[in-house]
Amino acid sequence: MTERPTRKRKMGDTKERATKKPAAKWPLIKPKKNLQISRLRDFDLFTVQNFFSSAESKAFVKIAEEIGFTHQGSLGPTYGEAFRDNDRMLVDDPVLADTIWESGLSKLFSDIKIRGKVAVGLNPNIRFYRYKVGQRFGRHIDESVDLGDGKRTYYTLLVYLSGGPGELKSKPKNDSSNPSVSSVDPLVGGETVFYGQRNKTVAEVAPTEGTALLHLHGDKCLLHEARNVTKGVKYVFRSDVVFA
């Protein structure tokens, strides 16, 4: 069945609200100097390599697995929803959001203005996604969210926590007692693909551990999808850049 362009649920919906989770001891996020932007479509869509270190990425995966994921599905295109099959963990953590923002992201957005607003931080609604073999997220659009007090999200932030050459470095063998070690297989598939007019591919980004992907959302959002994972496990950190 052909998927129709559909809009993703707003984060203000019940399904996108972070439920109360046990206090997590997040990894120490070190300041990143000399971060470089790779533009895929000017500042509408760009990547930042080594936004998280390999150690930071692996620590986030371990903690997210310990807290626990919940499966997310959808009714599908027939009912006006994008096909969705992945696992998700939500937390509301303003301190973590501020720490990541100040680690280097704030400098990258220092010259970006949208409708007279400037970037002021990250949405504290933090999401972790897990895609196992066979899972994917169909073509969809991310909504802009009004957070109140003149604050609104305009960019999606995704940071890949697995994939690429750094994924297997220092990765232990299968250990049934450690839930974060679900596979020693390298990640294959799971690319994030963006589409323009007439469904022409604008960009295709392969998951690489520690790489950040940022793109405009709301009425300027490009239709995009997370392709099927064919080997290994894909982990993603997700938040949004807030403007005011």
In percent, how much of the chain has pLDDT > 90? 77
Give a yes or no: residue 25 inside a domain. Answer: no
Q: What is the pLDDT of residues 45-81, one digit of tens each?
A: 999 999 999 999 999 999 999 999 999 998 878 777 8
Q: Which two tokens stand for residue 119?
A: 């970037």
Give a yes or no: residue 238 inside a domain. Answer: yes
Give a yes or no: residue 227 inside a domain. Answer: yes
Residue 214 sits in a domain whose CATH number is 2.60.120.620
- Verdict on whether the full-model pTM lies above 0.75: yes
Give a yes or no: residue 111 inside a domain. Answer: yes
Q: What is the pLDDT of residues 73-120, one digit of tens each?
A: 988 787 778 999 999 999 999 999 999 999 999 999 999 999 999 999
Q: Which residue segment(s) compose the domain that 48 sits in?
A: 35-243
Give a yes or no: residue 20 inside a domain. Answer: no
pLDDT at 225 over 50: yes
Q: Which residues pair with 121 in a beta bridge?
A: 242
Residue with tokens 């869509």: 45
d(CA 50, CA 58): 13
- Burial of residue 1, with CB atoms counted within 10 A of its CB: 0-12 exposed, 13-18 middle, 19 or more buried: exposed
Give a yes or no: residue 2 inside a domain. Answer: no
Q: Mean per-residue pLDDT for 123-143?
A: 97
Give a yes or no: residue 9 inside a domain. Answer: no
Per-residue pLDDT band for 1 (boundaries 50, 70, 90) equals very low
Cα torsion 159, 165, 170, 171 to 10°: value is 70
Domains held by the chain: number: 1
- Burial of residue 19, with CB atoms counted within 10 A of its CB: 0-12 exposed, 13-18 middle, 19 or more buried: exposed
Please state, as a whole number, how many other Cβ atoms lie within 10 Å of the Cβ of residue 130.
Answer: 23
In percent, how much of the chain has pLDDT > 70? 83
Give a yes or no: residue 5 inside a domain. Answer: no
Q: Which two tokens stand for residue 75?
A: 């009714």
